[in-house]
Amino acid sequence: MKVYYDNDASLTPLQDKKIAVLGFGSQGHAHSLNLHESGLNVCVGLRPTSSSWQKAEAAGLVVKDIEDAVKWADVIMILLPDQSQKQVYEKQIAPYLKDGDTLVFAHGFNIHYKWIVPPKNVNVMMIAPKSPGHLVRRTYLEGNGVPCLIAVYQDYSGNTKEMALAWAKGIGGTKAGVIETTFKDETETDLFGEQAVLCGGSAELVKAGFEVLTEAGYPPELAYFECMHELKLIVDLYYEGGLSRMNYSVSDTAEYGGMTRGPRVITEETKKVMRQILKDVQNGSFAEEWRKENESGLKLMEKLRKENREHPIEQVGAKLRGMMSWLFKKNKKEEVGV
């Protein structure tokens, strides 16, 4: 596997291009500002009623409505929610695409599952930073960057990979390292990771631990600290040096207890469920379920959101986090531009 760094990439393939970034959320504000400050010709495409319009202008960016941005641009990055991209593409992007234009994505979902089917006379590429947008922005301002994935789905012009590397360089990614992948592999591993580990698995593990402790009569505040609050300390150690770094840093008691009891929680049965989750991602059944959920008006999702908000760990957590003034200062700072 080759990793690309600053010396492997040049901004040249994008320097004569007009770049439209559609969306000014977490990733959108980071991509557009970083590219702009790297000297590239960037505008932001938004709905005229978007609450982000003034934010983007205040940040020094040119803002156009989506259709005008697409008509103007040679390179169009779609940084809208997965479930919104198909409709916006069909109504506001596809009618205005020109021969040799380039479509850019930060996630392969819509292309891989063919919710969006681009014409053959355009390039299609992906630049996917492996971090939230506020970190893409913050690390760039610090003179660094976050690791990125790039992929090429259609190479109509013959230099799409070079453009992808240029984009990664422009947002700071080549300072940390850029790995080439495919739309398929990025989409399937990303969805599996979110569902089985990062968002789904970890949340259910936290809630289950909290419930076991509180059902046994322990104070909910202690259960919150042990099962949620301190999880950040462990994840930071994973981030810095993997499992070995975590085990080296915790007490011998914690290390032994974790290594002997962890496999009793995450068993072969758990892995069987994970394999089925991966199959659902691979065969498109999750994508189809998500399409139908959106068409139904997100009824199940709103129900699940309500259940999460009302879980006791959320009530206890809100109270305890209210005592941690430093959290509010940090969160407020990182929301700027989103």
Residues 45-48: contacts with CB under 8 Å, at least 24 apart: 45/20, 45/21, 45/69, 45/70, 45/76, 46/22
Point out the catalytic residue in the list 29, 107, 112, 134: 107
What residue ranges in 113-158 does DSSP mark as E strands? Answer: 123-129, 148-154
Q: How many alpha carbons fall within 13 Å on the CB side of residue 200?
A: 11
Residue with tokens 């059944």: 285
Copy the structure tokens of residue 256: 């032994």
Contact yes or no for 101/73 (Cβ under 8 A): yes
Clarify whether 107 is annotated catalytic. yes
Q: Cα–Cα distances in Å, from 222 out to 16, 121, 228, 279, 320? A: 58, 59, 10, 38, 10
CA separation for the pair 123, 155 (Å, rounded) = 5
Secondary-structure percent of the chain, ordered helix, strand, coil, rounded to 5: 60, 10, 25
Contact yes or no for 62/43 (Cβ under 8 A): yes
Residue 32 contacts by C-beta under 8 Å, 6 or more apart in sequence?
21, 24, 42, 44, 56, 61
Asked whether the CA dihedral 30, 33, 37, 42 is positive or negative, the reply is: positive
- If we measure between CA atoms, which residue out of 31, 102, 115, 90 comes closest to residue 291? 115
Residue 287 contacts by C-beta under 8 Å, 6 or more apart in sequence?
109, 113, 115, 281
Contact yes or no for 128/149 (Cβ under 8 A): yes
As annotated, the active-site residues are 107
